[in-house]
Structure 1
Amino acid sequence: MDDQNKNLILATALSFAVILVWFLLFPPPEQAPGPETAPEPAVAEQVAGDTATAPAAAPATDTGPVTGTADEATVNAPRIDIDTPRLAGSISLMGGRIDDLSLKDYSVSLDDPAKVTVLSPVGTPSAYYALYGWAPGSGLQPGDVPGANTVWTAEEGAELTPDSPVLLHWDNGNGLMFRRQIAVDDNFMFTVTQSVENTGQGPASLAPYGLLARHGVGEDGDLPGLKNFFILHEGVVGMADGQLEEIDYSKMRDFEIDPREGAQAEVMQVTENGWIGFTDHFWMSTLAPEPGSAFRAVAKYDANRKIYQTEAVLPTLTVAPGESTEVSTRLFAGAKEWATIRSYERAGIEGFIDSIDWGWFFFLTKPIFWLLHEIHKLIGNMGWSIIGLTLIIKAILFPLAYKSYVSMAKMKELQPKMEALKESCGDDRQKMQQGMMELYKKEKVNPAAGCLPILLQIPIFFSLYKVIFVTIELRQAPWFGPFRDLSAPDPTSIMNFFGLAPWAGPEPGTILAMLLIGILPLLLGISMWLQQKLNPAPTDPTQAMIFAWMPWVFMFMLGGFASGLVVYWIANNTITFTQQYLIMRSQGYKPDLLGNIKSGFQRKPKPDEK
Structure 2
Amino acid sequence: MDSNKNIIAAISLSAAIIVLWALFFSPSPEDREKIKQKRIDSVKSLDAPEIENSESNKLLSRTEALNKDKRIIFENDNVKGSISLKGAIIDDLLFKNYNEKLEGTKKVVLLNPRNASDTYYLETGWVTNNKNIGLPDNKSKWKVEGNTKLSPGNDVKLKWKNDQGLTFEKIISIDNKFLFTINQKIKNNTNKIYNFYPYSQIIRKNIPKDIVNFFILHEGPLGVFDDQLVEKDYDDVIDKKYSINAEEGFLGITDKYWLTSLIPEKNKNFRADFEYSEKFKISYIETEPLEAEPNKQISNKVDIVIAAKEVDVIDEYNEKLGLSKFDLVIDWGWFYWIVKPLFFLNDYFFKLAGNYGLAIILITVCLRLLFFPLNNYAFRSMSRMKILQPEMARLKEVHKDDKMKLQQAIMQLYKKEGVNPVSGCVPILISIPFFFAIYKMLFVTIEMRHQPFFGWIKDLSEKDPTSIFNLFGLIPWSPPDFLIIGALPVLMGLTMWAQQKLNPAPQDDIQKKIFMFFPVFLTVILAPFPSGLVLYWTANNILTMAQQYVIMKRTTVKTSQ
Class of the TM-score when normalised by the shorter of the 2 chains: 0.7 to 0.9
* Distance in 1 between residues matched to 2:459 and 2:342, nearest whole Å: 20
Q: For each residue in 1:503-526, what CA deviation from the matched residue of structure 2 results, as whole angstroms up to 9, or x when unmatched?
A: 785354x2x22xxx3211221122
Q: Partners of 1:542 and 1:482 in 2: how far apart? A: 38
Query: In structure 2, how many angstroms separate the alpha carbons of the residues matched to 1:65 and 1:127?
Result: 17
Helix, strand or coil at the partner of 2:383: helix
Q: Which residue of 2 aligns with 1:312?
A: 284
Is 1:299 matched up with 2:296? no
- Number of equivalent positions: 522
State the superposition RMSD in angstroms. 3.6
Q: Deviations over 1:234-279 (max 9, x none)?
A: 3211111111112222222222xxxxxxxxx4221012x2111112
Pairwise CA distance, 1:128: 1.1
In terms of mean alpha carbon deviation, does 542-551 or 574-583 score higher?
542-551
* Partner-residue secondary structure (3-state), 1:587: helix
Segments of 4+ moved more than 6 angstroms: 12-16, 70-74, 415-429
Native 8 Å contact 2:48 2:197 kept in 1: no
Match for 1:398: what amino acid? F
Cα distance change, pair 416–551 in 1 and its aligned pair in 2 (3 A): closer
1:125-140 equivalence runs, <5 A: 125-138=117-130
Q: Among all aligned residue pairs of Structure 1 and Structure 2, give the percentage whose two residues are the same amino acid.
A: 39
Q: Does 1:184 align with 2:174?
A: yes
Matched, 1:11 2:14: no
Say if 1:193 and 1:58 are closer, same or farther in 2 by CA, change over 3 A: farther
Give CA-to-partner distance per residue, 1:313-370, whole Å, 9 cap, x none.
1231012223222221111112122221111112212111111233455455444434
Go from structure 1 to structure 2 and tell me whether the alpha carbon gap of 1:447 and 1:323 turns closer, same or farther (over 3 Å shift): same
Distance 1:504 1:90, change over 3 A: farther
| Alignment correspondent of 2:141 | 151
C-alpha distance in 2 between matches for 1:438 and 1:227:
51
* Separation in structure 2 between the aligned mates of residue 411 and residue 223 of structure 1, nearest angstrom: 51
CA distance in 2, matches of 1:350, 1:60: 25
Identify the residue that residue 40 of structure 2 maps to in structure 1. none
**CA 1:548–1:213 in 2, change beyond 3 Å: closer, same or farther?**
closer
Gap regions ≥5 residues in structure 1: 1-5, 17-56, 217-221, 256-264, 593-610
Partner residue in 2 for 1:250: 235
Tell me the residue number matched to 1:266.
242
The answer to whether the 8 Å contact 1:70/1:122 transfers is no
The normalised TM-score by structure 2 is 0.82
1:227–1:405: structure 2 CA closer, same or farther, 3 Å change rule?
A: closer
Offset at residue 162 of structure 1 (A): 1.3
Note the C-alpha offset of 1:564.
1.4
Matched, 1:114 2:106: yes
Contact 1:80-1:160 at 8 Å conserved across structures: yes
Choose which of 491, 501, 517 in structure 2 pairs with 1:523. Answer: 491
2:162 maps to what in 1? 172
Match of 2:252 among 273, 277, 283: 277
More helix by share: 2
Q: Distance in 2 between matches of 1:244 and 1:328?
A: 23
Question: Quick one: which of 537, 548, 551 aligns to 1:580?
Answer: 548
The offset of 1:385, in angstroms, is 1.4
Structure 1 residues 500 and 367: alpha-carbon distance in aligned structure 2, compared to 1, 3 A threshold? farther
CA spacing shift, 1:414–1:214, aligned 2, 3 Å: closer
For the residues of structure 2 that align with 1:74 and 1:418, how far apart are their CA atoms?
A: 76
Matched AA of 1:242: D
Matched, 1:446 2:420: yes
In the alignment, which residue of structure 2 is the partner of 1:326?
299
C-alpha distance after superposition, 1:169-207 (max 9, x if no partner)? 223343322221111111111111112222221222101
Counterpart of 1:49? none
User: What is the letter of the counterpart of residue 313 of structure 2?
Assistant: T
For the residues of structure 2 that align with 1:427 and 1:122, how far apart are their CA atoms?
75
Q: What is the alpha-carbon distance in structure 2 between the residues aligned to residue 157 and residue 390 of structure 1? A: 52
Paired residues of 2:382 and 2:503 also in contact (CA < 8 A): no
> Is there any run of 5+ residues in structure 2 with no aligned partner, and where?
12-44, 59-63
8 Å contact 1:238–1:276 — kept in the other structure?
yes
Whether 1:533 aligns to 2:501 is: yes
Distance 1:120 1:169, change over 3 A: same
User: CA deviation digits over 1:380-434, x for unaligned, max 9?
Assistant: 3221111112112212222221111222334455668878988999988667656
Which residue type is aligned with residue 308 of structure 1?
A: F
- AA matched with 2:531: S
Partner Cα distance (1:146, 1:543) in 2: 70
* CA distance, structure 1, for counterparts of residue 55 and residue 503 of structure 2: 73
CA distance in structure 1 between the aligned counterparts of 2:397 and 2:530, rounded to whole angstroms:
50
Q: For residues 459-510 of structure 1, what are the alpha-carbon distances to aligned partners after superposition, in whole Å with 9 as ceiling and x for unaligned?
A: 5555444433332222222112221221221112235653678x785354x2
Q: Secondary structure at the match of 1:253?
A: helix
**Which residue number in structure 1 is paired with residue 186 of structure 2?**
196
Which whole-Å CA distance do the structure 1 matches of 2:208 and 2:356 have between them? 32
**Cα gap change, 1:591 to 1:468, in 2 (>3 Å):** farther
Map 1:453-602 → 2, pairs under 5 A = 455=429, 459=433, 462-494=436-468, 497-498=471-472, 505-508=478-481, 510=482, 512-513=483-484, 517-534=485-502, 541-542=509-510, 544-589=512-557
Secondary structure of 1:449 counterpart:
coil
Question: Partners of 2:405 and 2:319 in 1: how far apart?
Answer: 64
Counterpart-to-counterpart distance in 2, 1:297 and 1:243: 13
CA shift for structure 1 position 84: 0.6
Pick aligned residue for 1:287 from 262, 265, 286: 262
Q: How many Å separate the matches in 2 of 1:228 and 1:541?
A: 37
SS, match of residue 117 in structure 1: strand
C-alpha displacement at 1:68, in angstroms?
Answer: 5.1
CA distance in 1: counterparts of 2:170 and 2:504, whole angstroms: 76
| Pair 1:210-2:200 in alignment | yes
**Is the 2:83–2:90 Cα contact (8 Å) retained in structure 1?**
yes
Q: Is the 8 A contact 1:482 1:499 kept in 2?
A: no
Q: What displacement does 1:119 show? A: 0.9
Please, which of 67, 73, 82 is the counterpart of residue 54 of structure 2? 67
Q: Distance in 2 between matches of 1:10 and 1:77?
A: 67
Shift of 1:211: 1.1
* CA distance, structure 1, for counterparts of residue 473 and residue 374 of structure 2: 39
Task: State the TM-score, normalized to the length of structure 1.
Answer: 0.76
From the superposition, tell whether residues 15 and 500 of structure 1 become closer, same or farther in structure 2 (CA, over 3 Å).
farther
Describe the SS at the equivalent of 1:450: coil
- Residues 346/499 of structure 1: CA separation in 2 closer, same or farther (3 Å cut): farther
Query: Deviations for 1:538-566, whole angstroms, at most 9, x for unmatched residues?
Result: 67654554444333333333222221121
- Amino acid paired to 1:141: N
For residues 369 and 68 of structure 2, what CA distance do their matches in structure 1 show?
62
Q: In the alignment, is the contact (CA less than 8 A) between 1:168 and 1:180 conserved in 2? A: yes
Distance 1:380 1:317, change over 3 A: same
Letter in 2 for 1:388: L
* Amino acid in the other structure paired with 1:584: M
Out of 85, 90, 93, the position equivalent to 1:98 is: 90
Say whether the 8 Å CA contact 1:491–1:499 is kept in structure 2: no
Closer, same or farther: CA 407–380 of 1 in aligned 2, 3 Å: same
